[in-house]
Structure 1
């Protein structure tokens, strides 16, 4: 089987690629992640994945397009819809690329993270598979999440602290670190005598 493995970043690729290699699966890695913000972070994650692939001698296909307008329009929705759009955009691209370039199936490293919406990823991947007429290779890579962390640390790979989109970056600094009591505070916060911060 010739597999196209969509990769969101270097660290998340560590365990799935180890497993696929051990199973004797022939695969190429695809980078298409215009959801990542800001652009500097996008470049950093791509650079890290390239570093990983060079060290492991994996084939890497890169689409460096960055349709930020399309991403922002699609993600300006409720959280569940926002994530579905993000997964759908990347998985449809992977499925179509795999179909048009002679692969037997496609998969994604998104399946390795326990912090991602696993069932939603699976649902969107299966929909993309049906749309483009190519099998989706499913494996619950979450069982090897810690192994992937260990590999990435051994290789000295950059490990990001948020999913990728601007909303997840915001949540990293605000929502996850806020005590629940703060949720009811006034939206006008006086930070000095003459300055006010307003959350609209």
Structure 2
């Protein structure tokens, strides 16, 4: 069974508030907001899952570890029995290659089975070689499955994959909404700049017309003076 995977306007006022709070407080607030957004996205992603998969994700991690321990014990006991019957003096396991397994529990149960049957326990942590083992097995066309073996682990693996998929979709949607909001802000700023430029152009046009009117008036007054 696979172990747990890890499992002056508003903008200016905001900048002034952030400045007053200081860099550390601003960073902490941003981190808190990001964590809250992540939690919200996860809750929304969970809501999209089939109830059966949601239930699988709600399994108590301790209960899951205990279930895996029982599986390890069963398999190592059988391996130890076979080793004694066929003249072997030690037992080992390749289960420890997976980063998704409970490696410490594997070692404990291997030692336990070996001791019960008078055998040596040969435990190695093969997790550093997981990527290479995966690459070689794929190149060799070996059968691979994306769950440990039991039906419960299959359901849990499905749930975790579906949740990751839903989380990625939610994250993409959040980024799209953020980009849309940013573009709306930029469009608003462009509109504000254009409105300011239009206002300035109208002002210049009015001033130009007034200057022309004054010049024409002065010319007219000069002509009147010449006629007199």
TM score, norm. by length of structure 1: 0.49
Larger relative strand fraction: 1
Structure with the greater alpha carbon radius of gyration: 2
